[in-house]
Amino acid sequence: GAVVSQHPSRVICKSGTSVKIECRSLDFQATTMFWYRQFPKQSLMLMATSNEGSKATYEQGVEKDKFLINHASLTLSTLTVTSAHPEDSSFYICSARDRPSGGRETQYFGPGTRLLVL
Amino acid sequence: QKEVEQNSGPLSVPEGAIASLNCTYSDRGSQSFFWYRQYSGKSPELIMFIYSNGDKEDGRFTAQLNKASQYVSLLIRDSQPSDSATYLCAVGSADSWGKLQFGAGTQVVVTP
To the nearest whole Å, the CA of A94 is away from the closest chain B CA by: 9
Residue A99: Cβ-neighbour burial (10 angstroms; 0-12, 13-18, 19+): middle
Taking 80 as the threshold, does the pLDDT of residue A99 lie above it? no
User: Among partner residues A97, A104, A110, which is closest to B43 by beta-carbon distance?
Assistant: A110
User: Among partner residues B43, B46, B103, which is closest to A112 by beta-carbon distance?
Assistant: B43
Of A50, A73, A45, residue with least CA distance to A61: A45
Taking 90 as the threshold, does the pLDDT of residue A68 lie above it? yes
CB B51 within 8 A of CB B33: yes
Which pLDDT does position A24 carry in this prediction?
95
Give the pLDDT mean for A5-16: 96
Which pLDDT does position A103 carry in this prediction?
67
Taking 90 as the threshold, does the pLDDT of residue B99 lie above it? no
Residue B71 gets which letter from DSSP? Answer: E
Taking 90 as the threshold, does the pLDDT of residue B94 lie above it? no
Least confident range of A56-65, A74-83, A95-104, B96-105: A95-104
Of B37, B34, B40, B12, residue with least CA distance to B112: B12
CA B112/CA B106 separation, integer angstroms:
19
Taking 90 as the threshold, does the pLDDT of residue B26 lie above it? yes
Taking 90 as the threshold, does the pLDDT of residue B80 lie above it? yes
Mutate to test the interface with B, among A6, A42, A43 (most CBs of B within 10 A): A43
CB B62 within 8 A of CB B56: yes
Taking 70 as the threshold, does the pLDDT of residue B97 lie above it? no
Q: Is B83 helix (H, G, I), strand (E, B) or coil?
A: helix
